[in-house]
Amino acid sequence: MIDIKLIRENRDIVKENIKKKFQDEKLPLVDEVYNLDKEYRDCKSKGDELRSEKNKLSSSIGELMRNKKVDEANKTKEKVSSMQHEIEELGQKEIELEQKIKEIMMVIPNIIDESVPIGKDDSENVEVERFGEAVVPSYEIPYHADIIEALNGMDKDAAGRTSGQGFYYLLGDIARLHEAMIAYARDYMIDKGFTYAIPPFMIHSDVVTGVMSFPEMEAMMYKIEGEDLYLIGTSEHSMIGRFKDQIVPKTDLPIRMTSYSPCFRKEGGSHGLEERGLYRVHQFEKQEMIVLCEPEESMKYYEDMWKYTVEVFKNLDIPVRQLECCSGDLADLKVKSCDIEAWSPRQQKYFEVGSCSNLGDAQSRRLGIRTKGENGTYYVHTLNNTVLASPRGLIALIENNYQEDGSIKVPKVLWPYMGGKKIIK
């Protein structure tokens, strides 16, 4: 959510930003919220004037009564009563206008950074850099589900009976490998100075609408029937929500945290072959990182954060690339974002395994997360990034460490988490 002052002072900037995101249908909202805001401020100003005048008249009633001016005092009382009624009507109108303004402001997209490439959708995202050699071995690499099943590492049939499509059992060494990756990612981030956290896995609706846009919420979130609770789609939701309505001491900034959680997503639609495997599932696990910082430092942390993910995957012997998200692919709250994609030697292309985002003060403005400086309180900036999500990370590891005899080489950094096991046969 942007600052209403920007619409008051320079609507053209907001409209141009909407055009860059190819959301022209939202252009009329800028003028609409401008006019509503003007009406709101006029209403508030009139209410303030009436309250001031009413207070003066109220204080004069006692003196009129003491001076035996009963008729004048009674007329003043009637006037005060009439003014109070008008003040209450104006107050109700203020509330209604404020709610309308908030609803529209929640839909108007955040101002994107100047460095963001302009494009309509993810097909126009821009590759920035590759890390590691993308190798295609001389032998065939089977589909990941077939590799895992050959190692007795997965049972989707049983999961279908217990839970339905999009769920899975991981078993034996594959289950252990899955958890080893998450544990390694956790320890990597702790070594980088991030505080480890395990957050709540359910959150209230006001937190959901504080951290993401409405279309994202409807497409992603599972709601608990009969309760104001949603299952998290990522731990960023509850981690940022932790600071809702708080004034964070300036001395505590930056706040850098890494969190573990299961994640739950609808993932609607049909995805062909991927339905049989682990690429699109309703439940997965993730190691996340978030940062709350001073506004002028957010771009620095953005650059640091995506590089951490690259290093984690390099240490797992998985080639990756950084892909800059174009304007049309950015969610409305984001200022700048990039995807980290892992190499698939089976498909001979890259696929997404993580995303890093700078949201400016959009989330903190919605959630009321501020800090206090010399000139008063102001909103902090928030960022989030996937350290490692599995099973997508697991798929990348299996394909890039698959050997001709059907075994999987365990990357060296995971040996301690696998009890010293170096090969899964």
What was the pLDDT predicted at 269?
53
pLDDT in tens, the chain (425 residues): 899 999 999 999 999 999 999 999 999 999 999 999 999 999 999 988 888 888 888 778 777 777 878 787 878 888 888 888 888 889 999 999 999 999 999 999 999 999 999 999 999 999 999 999 999 999 999 999 999 999 999 999 999 899 988 899 999 999 999 999 999 999 999 999 999 999 999 999 999 999 987 777 777 899 999 999 999 999 999 999 999 999 999 999 999 999 999 999 987 654 544 567 888 899 999 999 999 999 999 999 999 999 999 999 999 999 999 999 999 999 999 999 999 999 999 999 999 999 999 999 999 999 999 999 988 999 999 999 999 999 999 999 999 999 999 999 999 999 999 999 999 99
- What is the pLDDT, as a whole number, of residue 57? 83
Please report, in angstroms and rounded to a whole number, the separation of the first and last CA atoms in the chain.
51
Sequence-distant contacts of 187-191: CB under 8 A, at least 24 apart = 188/308, 188/311, 188/312, 188/315, 188/387, 189/258, 189/287, 189/289, 189/308, 189/387, 190/258
Tokens of 59: 């204080």
| CA–CA gap between residue 354 and residue 347 (Å, rounded) | 18
155 - beta bridge partners? 169
Q: What's at 48, amino acid-wise? A: D
Q: What is the DSSP letter of 419?
A: T
pLDDT of 272 reads 46
Q: What are phi and psi of 113, to 5 degrees?
A: -70, 150
Q: What whole-number distance in Å separates Cα of residue 402 and Cα of residue 408?
A: 5
pTM for the structure as a whole:
0.89
How do 247-248 and 370-373 pair as beta strands? parallel
419 near 316, Cβ under 8 Å?
no
CA dihedral for 2, 241, 209, 123, sign (positive or negative): positive
pLDDT of residue 273: 42
Which token pair is 292? Answer: 């709350």
Angle between helices 298-315 and 172-191 (to 10 degrees): 140
Contact 135, 319 (CB under 8 A): yes
Percent helix, strand, coil in the chain, to 5, is 50, 20, 30
Asked, as a colleague might, if the bond just before 254 is cis with ω within 30 of 0, I would say yes
Q: What is the side-by-side order of every strand in the sheet holding 370-373? A: 247-248, 370-373, 376-379
Token representation of residue 6: 């920007």
Q: How many CB atoms lie within 10 A of CB 396?
A: 28
| Sequence-separated (6 or more) residues with CB below 8 Å from residue 82 | none
Domains annotated on the chain, with CATH: 4-105 (1.10.287.40), 122-424 (3.30.930.10)
